[in-house]
Structure 1
């Protein structure tokens, strides 16, 4: 079947939302391309594999805090394997490393040009990366920030032979002030040591679906610098983070965090609709403040209206944006429902793994990443569940623009793994006290770094009990923590099972048929709790095998295809079965208390063949007309259940 080619970008015409400063960046650093770099041949390519080149991801990486001046450090770096964690004590300053590698990329990916090792059973637990850069002369007198989108898992950063900082957590951005280490007008050596244990030994850390031993629903890991790296000049006292929430009443709630965190100064905020200023306000830094925008157009999947925001603090000026919307829960005709802008919204989307055959965790290009989202929007989905992975910020920007709600998972710890005991028994690998504290710290990072994206509607803490301590119920404490950090969204504390009553959702997983807010359930899940939102956190999962040119060409993965919940022998059968399951979900919306669902999944991944598209994004399984009608049927059934008698809670 032909690949879906939607023209969703036409929906964005006339929004007046620009990418401020996008034309003012410094030209990308042209790293010398030594003979050592060349992309490897992956087990499967995508239509974008050959478009990556040696200056990948040229877009400004942080759209909610964007500066006009910046320099992209993406490109060809040097890399070599390190023997152990002790290697960080002997940095190879001033030395050429063994080979060249593309940044950003996963070392295990073909695009990296390093090792294509994930499918060959080798490990990259310890790695060195290096590059050099010059600071533009017109940045003299300003402080210089070195920014990393994400490094998996621990990064120790050296600049010109001096340790500049350390960061732990494979999914979260970080910035280092490297001003004091730099040499004006000269090349500056940047050296990064990365330790990524994934699921080696007794490590219990947030890894999502990565594993050193790929098998069916667990995939090739990603090690190294897998999101963009860039530098930018700032004032000594500069904006370090913006917390922005615009609600349906036009109230803008903001906190302008600064590098001088213990002091209070004044920041000027200007809100624009296109070129028209709709509000200005001067507020204190490092503490919350509020002001009103009169009669804003509200953000929703049907009308994803966004407003530009400029924040000026002294000489520091940053661009951002927001959408005005309110996400809540309330009782509608006796059923607890999710509400968007005061009205029940049936949230329906896919389980979105975010894996790529050529880049593993790193999409080959922004165009490729957005293509998946456009496909979903074109079929009528209004939501995507970002499954135990955190994407780069441009992913969430695209969801904001397209009008796709996001249910965001916290990456899981050590899923479904156990260790052998001396008595020949085994026990599930769960976090100890220190590992649980680190999970909590990284959960805070997830919320704080993403709570200003208008599209995010809900947070998920635990998926199917993976890494969830069973001797007590940590989800209650973590739910309260998330609620304190972000009271503006819903919380799905335990999607799937091990549900003890925490959070806003009564969330069931059931393959291959739904059990959404129903008076029947399977023992793996919990009975529907009518004090919370009835939700089908995962269902579907039906598969259709394809020819080798669309499969991840690894024999172990191919051998695991028969572990799929159901295999349909033809596309006609697959679409028939999809229609049956979507019709069954529609009946549950009509008869019971189903408020949303998540279809598994957007694309195939390695040994899984249950995607709307194959892993290479070249083959779509869906009968478009049928799927559009079935999805619209869900929304129509939900609309028929309400006469708009609502009570907010």
Structure 2
């Protein structure tokens, strides 16, 4: 029996450690903060389970205070000393990291932490997971190199079982190199000298780091694709360490009630019958549960839980022969904000899970039914919340290699010239590899209905080839080849950008083969004193002096947008959800503290868009 004084001493020591962590960290001062910044606790940073589409109980969160050091980019050895502490998973440039330093191509960012394995991960095999690290990351465990990963937006993991020492205490170290806009890699809107529509760099760990315990033979990934017309769900999985005769048992459930089940070989595809399916939509985001068991001679080796939804996105012609966007075989006008997913305190990383959810819920409250996730990829929990709330997602590929772009975008007639950029084999390779990794990671989220390989002409290359590859790789979704870019008559969607007023290409010329959308418009600006990134030189595509002026102009934009729907327009994207750094054209301020037009008012205004009918 443990004596009470020892228990009290242990509890006191634990409290003192947590308190020491909290008091040794504070956000970098000088910039506005969101309301959730005050809730950030270094001892309990983003503790939520990070992978809602493949759930196991055996895991350990590693977010919190790590050590960091900045060295020359040529350094090959782990530094003997470190510069201080950094709060993971916030990028080093962010206020919430507690550091607020810029790195760049000439330096390496090093991380180190000492951990104790929890009971949940102290047996079997151990995987070390990173939600995202920007950009090239080399990982060491107990001084031994585990592996290297390139890509700033896709999750990755390493099996570290062989590197673990006896006992609970382990050491994890990693180096990160990120050239930002000095390299050809996908990097979105990050630049080393932020201005206008270009923002602060994001270097290093920016999503949750965690450990997971798995058996020697385990389910690594699942792929589930709904087929509404056939009333079925296609399912397959990747299994590590499988043997001949191993099987997967897949069970689909409506709540706790079994709808369908099937047992297949580990390398086979199941087709689960989902009769009289409850369809997922923006008004009824219904999801089914999924249980997957890995069997060997009838014995369960591994189990994971997931979910899926029965949802169909398609392109169909109206009575005039114009292509339209259909959800579950019905025309649904899609309207949403350009959502860049930036935070004044965390940059790429929302300060808390509550904050991550807030933007999605507020978007729905404003009366939008769609979000265009603009040249950034979010943590898996963000898409999970879109699935739960019921909001459609257009997912952009983060841009890269932007120099020397040629752009020929005409609102009336489109030249069709091939203005594709010539990119090096290295540059092409980075784009292709990360685009595939992003699509793989996000495939199971039903809210995603459109893939967008390119934004405008930013690094746009081999457009037809990339678009057709995307269409073939995931035929369950639509592909918007180049939102506002150079149009080469490929993909399902023709997407125009036009500021500030709505416009669209001529449907008589282009509408027979592609659905017509307005991928960006608006950008109405209103800086709110005390809630801007900087005091002066903020801007929008068209700026206003007060909220009344802004509201009246916005109402006129929506009225004009509404009139385009009967003519052939299938969707619109307004710029944007929030202000971002010096851009003040958001529906909300960057700190999320002020709605520039009340959400209830916006919801009322937007209803006119969804009442439009087509013949």
Q: Tell me the TM-score normalised to structure 2 length.
A: 0.90
Report matched runs for 1:451-600 at 5 Å: 451-469=443-461, 474-518=462-506, 528-547=510-529, 549-553=530-534, 558-559=536-537, 561-562=538-539, 564-590=540-566, 592-600=567-575
Tell me which stretches of 4 or more aligned residues in structure 1 moved more than 6 Å: 29-32, 261-264
Match of 2:52 in 1: 63
The number of equivalent residue pairs is 578
CA–CA separation in structure 2 for the residues paired with 1:149 and 1:195: 17
Report matched runs for 1:127-146 at 5 Å: 127-137=109-119, 139-146=121-128
Query: What is the Cα deviation at residue 626 of structure 1?
Result: 3.9
Query: What is the Cα deviation at residue 449 of structure 1?
Result: 0.9
CA–CA separation in structure 1 for the residues paired with 2:315 and 2:453: 18
CA–CA separation in structure 1 for the residues paired with 2:576 and 2:107: 30
CA–CA separation in structure 1 for the residues paired with 2:317 and 2:421: 40
Match of 1:253 in 2: 234
Query: What is the Cα deviation at residue 403 of structure 1?
Result: 0.3
- Given candidates 555, 579, 584, the residue that maps to 1:604 is 579
Q: Tell me the TM-score normalised to structure 1 length.
A: 0.85
Match of 2:7 in 1: none
Alignment RMSD, CA only? 2.2
Match of 1:448 in 2: 440
Q: 2:296 aligned with 1:321, yes or no?
A: no
CA–CA separation in structure 1 for the residues paired with 2:37 and 2:386: 23
Unpaired runs of 5+ in structure 2? 1-16, 295-299, 406-419
CA–CA separation in structure 1 for the residues paired with 2:119 and 2:460: 51
Query: What is the Cα deviation at residue 610 of structure 1?
Result: 0.5
Report matched runs for 1:13-412 at 5 Å: 33=21, 36-54=24-42, 55-84=44-73, 86-87=74-75, 89-92=76-79, 95-117=80-102, 125-137=107-119, 139-200=121-182, 203-248=183-228, 249-260=230-241, 265-313=246-294, 314-333=300-319, 334-412=321-399
Larger mean Cα displacement after TM superposition, 359-368 or 328-337: 328-337
Residue 539 and residue 82 in structure 1: after superposition, are their counterparts in 2 closer, same or farther (change >3 A)? same
Residue 30 and residue 275 in structure 1: after superposition, are their counterparts in 2 closer, same or farther (change >3 A)? farther
Note if contact 1:165-1:176 (Cα within 8 Å) is conserved in structure 2.
yes
Note if contact 2:63-2:210 (Cα within 8 Å) is conserved in structure 1.
yes
Note if contact 1:507-1:534 (Cα within 8 Å) is conserved in structure 2.
yes
CA–CA separation in structure 2 for the residues paired with 1:575 and 1:71: 48
SS at match of 1:166: strand
Query: What is the Cα deviation at residue 127 of structure 1?
Result: 0.5
CA–CA separation in structure 1 for the residues paired with 2:45 and 2:142: 25
CA–CA separation in structure 2 for the residues paired with 1:116 and 1:156: 21
Match of 1:12 in 2: none
Larger mean Cα displacement after TM superposition, 494-503 or 32-41: 32-41
SS at match of 2:21: coil
CA–CA separation in structure 1 for the residues paired with 2:132 and 2:323: 38
